[in-house]
Amino acid sequence: MKILQIIPSISLVYGGPSQMILGLSKALAKEGEDVTIITTNANGDQGQFPLDVPLQCAVEKDGYRVVYFNCAPFRRYKFSVDLLRWLWTHCGDYDVAHIHALFSPVTTMAAWICRQKGLPYILRPLGTLDPKDLQKKRGLKKIYGNLLEKANLRGSFGVHFTSQQEADVSEDFGAGINRLIVPLGVEIPDRTLDDDMIYDRYQIPRGKPLLLFMSRIEPKKGLQFLIPALQRLLNQGYDFHFVLAGANPQDRSYEAQIQTQITSSSLSDCTTITGFVTGDEKMALLQKADLFLLPSFYENFGIAVVEAIAFSTPVLISDQVYIYREIEKAKAGWICSLNEDDLVKKLMVALESGEEERQQRGLNGFNLVKQNYSWSAIARQLIEIYTKAIKNN
């Protein structure tokens, strides 16, 4: 089966939703499928240079290929005339397309081209159909959705949601969509590493519970609840060390605001701010953490949460992270309501539960990943869906 993955960008600047396509494509290739990603060289709109990649030629990677196209015109919107021209010419070379992102001009046009050329396609909205996300630029999205995306939704074989809750709450502009629920996956760690190096690398004290926030630093992540909640714990005599790991290349001012809020507070002496981490440093922090924190306002999935439990780290998340029911059922952590008081309460419960209880919940999380969130299992689910889409066409 020849599968075409279409996404505006796979730059790290845009976070986990863009990066997951790489893990998915690798897993599909391991199942014997022929996978091509087409994308742009977009790398942010805050003065960053475009990705330094060859353009309009196949770059082989982990059994699949990536074809990058110049992002022009309208760099801010990750648009590419060259990508759309290529798609118009090569649509017939593929059996099915998986289009990632709505309300993005290049994927909006890509879906239209697929319809014109008779190529069956699936849409993954990346949370953009969530009512909370639709509140951003509400008037414009209502017009855009009804005029452009409604036809794309109606013409798709189905819409790929990553959790039941995302599927339940998402708008479809009256298109009457086929709601497909397939979670995202993670690479299950196949090795451990000497994570003690993380103490010296970031001057993290030993012997204290390590609380880790590792995600994009943006308002929806709930840091405005988390920081004062941690201050209250500190004032009540709880002993811990907090690590803030993440960045936001698209909003450096908010990132700086959060850092200033921490460094000018009582948390300053018990907090390490690492910035963006990857590779062994990321693995070491996830492996060493006693509790992973993500009290988000909304997450259509929560890939950072799954990455944490893949390292047997228990989590404390809000009930607006849409896989919270799975975490709760598996007893892989603790769930809080979206308010500071309940977050403080659940932090106290998690810290007072003791190391043995946290380790058991971490192990429960690891078992959940093996059962539900391995890329190999997810790839097989999607292959079944792709096959049905082709037959339906």
- 197-372 architecture in CATH? 3-Layer(aba) Sandwich (3.40)
For residue 18, the model assigns a pLDDT of: 74
Instruction: With a cut of 80, say whether residue 124 has pLDDT above it.
Output: yes
Could you tell me the end-to-end alpha-carbon distance of the chain, in angstroms, rounded to an integer? 14
Reading the block at residue 173, the tokens are: 């502009």
Q: Closest Cα to residue 121, out of 140, 135, 139, 101? A: 101
pLDDT digits (tens, 9 = 90+) for 96-120: 999 999 999 999 999 999 999 999 9
Residue type, 50: P
Where residue 1 falls among pLDDT bands split at 50, 70, 90?
very high
The secondary structure of the chain in percent helix, strand, coil, rounded to multiples of 5, reads 50, 20, 35
Residue 88, C-beta contacts closer than 8 angstroms, at least 6 positions apart: 113, 117
Q: How is domain 2-185+374-392 classified at the CATH fold level?
A: Rossmann fold (3.40.50)
Range name among 7-16, 53-62, 301-310, 355-364 with the lowest pLDDT average: 7-16
Of 19 and 167, which is predicted with more confidence? 167
Q: Give the side-chain half-sphere CA count within 13 A for 46.
A: 8
Q: How far apart are CA 58 and CA 45, in angstroms?
A: 25
- What's the mean pLDDT in 335-360? 96
Q: Closest Cα to residue 241, out of 215, 267, 221, 262? A: 267
Per the CB < 8 A criterion, the answer to whether 313 and 333 are in contact is no
Reading the block at residue 142, the tokens are: 């209502």
Residue type, 151: A
Q: Do domains 2-185+374-392 and 197-372 have the same CATH topology?
A: yes
For residue 191, the model assigns a pLDDT of: 64
- Nearest 5°: the CA angle 320, 321, 327 is 120
Reading the block at residue 249, the tokens are: 């290349």
Count of beta carbons in the 10 Å neighbourhood of residue 261:
15
Average pLDDT, the chain: 93
Residue 356: enclosing H or E segment and its boundaries? helix 355-372
For residue 67, the model assigns a pLDDT of: 98
Domain borders along the chain are: 2-185+374-392, 197-372
Bridge-based pairing of strands 210-214 and 291-294 is: parallel
- 202-207 own/partner pairs: CB under 8 Å, 24+ apart: 202/243, 202/272, 202/274, 203/272, 204/241, 204/243, 204/272, 205/241
Q: How far apart are CA 188 and CA 208, in angstroms?
A: 27
Instruction: With a cut of 80, say whether residue 182 has pLDDT above it.
Output: yes
Reading the block at residue 139, the tokens are: 């008037």
Would you give the DSSP letter of residue 217?
-
Map tokens 């030629």 to a residue: 57
pLDDT digits (tens, 9 = 90+) for 22-75: 999 999 999 999 999 999 999 877 667 889 999 999 999 999 999 999 998 766
Handedness of CA 75, 77, 78, 84 (dihedral sign): negative
